[in-house]
Amino acid sequence: MKLTCDEATTICDKSQYNEASFLEKIKLQLHILLCKKCGDYSKQNGIMSKCYEKKRAYDSDKKKCLCKEDKKAMENNLKENYNTTK
């Protein structure tokens, strides 16, 4: 039942897209309770996805990639949100 960190991050990614099974999600939550690094990865992954989804919704009918300024703004947003979750 024990997961490695590599397995946990894979399940975290799958879970983000609703592709993880119920058992995988439980295993991931147990692993995150014991592993701070994977907990941080999970938080960062969620923040990054939210930022991307907001940007994608905003630009849905415009350009299909981020310009340098948008990338920098997203990076700053990630740093700010990550620092507030610690």
Residues in the chain, how many? Answer: 86
Q: Where are the alpha helices (DSSP H) in 1-86?
A: 5-16, 22-34, 36-58, 68-85
Whether pTM > 0.95 for this model: the answer is no
- Quick one: three-class SS letters along 20-33? CCHHHHHHHHHHHH
Tens-digit pLDDT string for the chain (86 aa): 689 999 999 999 999 888 999 999 999 999 999 999 999 999 999 898 888 888 777 766 666 677 889 889 989 988 888 776 55
